[in-house]
Amino acid sequence: MSDEQKRLLEKQLWAVADTLRSSMNADEYKNYILGFIFYKYLSEKQEVYAKSLLKNDEVDFADLDESKKKDQEYISAIKKASLEKLGFFLQPSQLFSQLVKKGKGEIGEDKFILEDLKAVLNAIEQTSAGTDSEDDFKGLFDD
């Protein structure tokens, strides 16, 4: 992550924290902020791992299209490996970077991403079902 990206992330996190602080007490908003930061961490971990798997194919995981058959083959292989190695899996469209783009209006038309975020957090828990990490993710984002 570049210094500019870190600066922008910090600015965005402070803006979110300020908004939440104005509408709820600290005990309530800390769960939102920590969950969001953890989601970003998991997303980056998924991207780095997928990148290592795809390094010889010159394919970027975030650019894979879940609706294209050729890309589905890559995604399926990465999902299997990710569940074994990481204990969870995120689709390319569920990555933090993609949600940010959607929120900025760079992907699709809808800038309101709250429902998308809920779906992604649920997906993290669901993909871990039946793996060794199931208990680690069960109920993690319930707050």
Cβ atoms within 10 Å, residue 99? 19
Give residue 4's identity as a one-letter amino acid code.
Answer: E
133 contacts: CB under 8 Å, gap ≥ 6: 86, 87, 88
pLDDT tens per residue across span 77-99:
999 999 999 999 999 999 998 88
Asked whether the predicted pLDDT for residue 63 surpasses 90, the reply is yes
Q: Please give the DSSP secondary-structure letter assigned to residue 95.
A: S
Q: What is the pTM of this model?
A: 0.73
The per-residue DSSP string of 9-77 comes to: HHHHHHHHHHHHHHHS-HHHHHHHHHHHHHHHHHHHHHHHHHHHHHTTTT--GGG--TTSHHHHHHHHH
CA atoms within a 13 Å half-sphere pointing along the CA-CB vector of 109: 0
Grade residue 101 by pLDDT with cuts at 50, 70 and 90: confident
- Do residues 47 and 95 lie in contact, with contact meaning Cβ atoms separated by under 8 Å? yes
